[in-house]
Amino acid sequence: MDTSAIGGCSPEAAICARNIARDFESGQQVIRVLHGIDTDIRPGEMTYLVGESGSGKTTLISIMCGILWPTEGEVRVFGTDIYSLSDDELVNFRLQNIGFIFQQYNLIPSIDAAANAAVPLIAQGMPVERARSKAKELLDALNIADQADKLPNQLSGGQQQRVAIARALVHEPRLVVCDEPTAALDAKSGRRVMDLLREVAVAPDRACVIVTHDNRIFDLADRILVLEDGRIIHDGTQMPDGH
Ligand SMILES: Nc1ncnc2c1ncn2[C@@H]1O[C@H](COP(=O)(O)OP(=O)(O)OP(=O)(O)O)[C@@H](O)[C@H]1O
């Protein structure tokens, strides 16, 4: 693993993104949706990415966590230049280090909630029963222990989302990235999810990045980056005035 400080990356940064650009093809045109993003995500913090629809939040978070290649630039996650890894190495790196909560929950329809939440542990080689029991602890903390044996299509949207959250946290990853983790939840469940995220995903050697529109949880951020048209226009502990 390369942990050297290249390109001005601090060795302490959880994520070091340098000069990130991303283009998408739209018909005959190539559209640039991120323009030279430079930022460090610090461990021990919950960092929000906020911005209007289409500002590039999902694109940026996907690049930061190794699921979408940047057109230009470099991303280091805990010192590893992730886009210089082979495909297999990158899959393995993600499995060991990153937990994802996507807008689509991507649950496996044919297995129950506990098994879905246990997937990262089973993929890491943990025996199934032990993995299920660890997953059930998280389902319990998210108040859906009684749903553990149900299939995803027997759960409500909010319950499915909490299974996806349990799956993202069950292997205690060093980096947790979330796209709208509270969108489908009522205020109380949303707070519970945020408490659990802080408990599991924020520590001196861990970091959490959250894309959100949910102004009910803005006060829970340690740092807020605001994106506009693919550029960071604000970096502070609170939302800019007038938002
Ligand atoms: N696969 C793709 N192909 C073409 N254009 C894309 C693709 N993915 C995203 N875009 C475009 O890139 C821009 C940024 O999209 P992105 O999903 O990152 O924004 P966002 O801020 O997350 O929006 P939202 O809040 O609506 O989820 C948008 O204009 C979008 O249409």
In total, how many domains does the chain have? 1
Q: Does a structural domain hold residue 16?
A: no
Closest approach atom of ligand 1 to CA 61: 18
Q: Does a structural domain hold residue 82?
A: no
Q: Does a structural domain hold residue 143?
A: yes
Residue 162 lies in domain: 45-67+97-236
The C-alpha atoms of residue 148 and residue 140 are separated, in whole angstroms, by: 9
Q: Is 22 in the pocket of ligand 1 (CB under 6 A)?
A: no
* Residue 233 half-sphere exposure toward CB, CA atoms < 13 A: 15
Q: What is the CATH number of the domain that holds 206?
A: 3.40.50.300
Q: Does a structural domain hold residue 4?
A: no
Q: Does a structural domain hold residue 110?
A: yes
Find the 56 Cα to ligand 1 centroid distance in Å. 6
Element (H, E) at 121: helix 113-123
* pLDDT by position in tens, the chain (length 243): 444 445 677 778 999 999 999 999 988 999 999 999 999 999 999 999 999 999 999 999 999 999 999 999 999 999 999 999 999 999 999 999 999 888 778 899 999 999 999 999 999 899 999 999 999 999 998 899 999 999 999 999 889 989 999 999 999 999 999 998 888 788 888 888 888 888 888 889 999 999 998 888 888 899 999 999 999 999 999 888 766
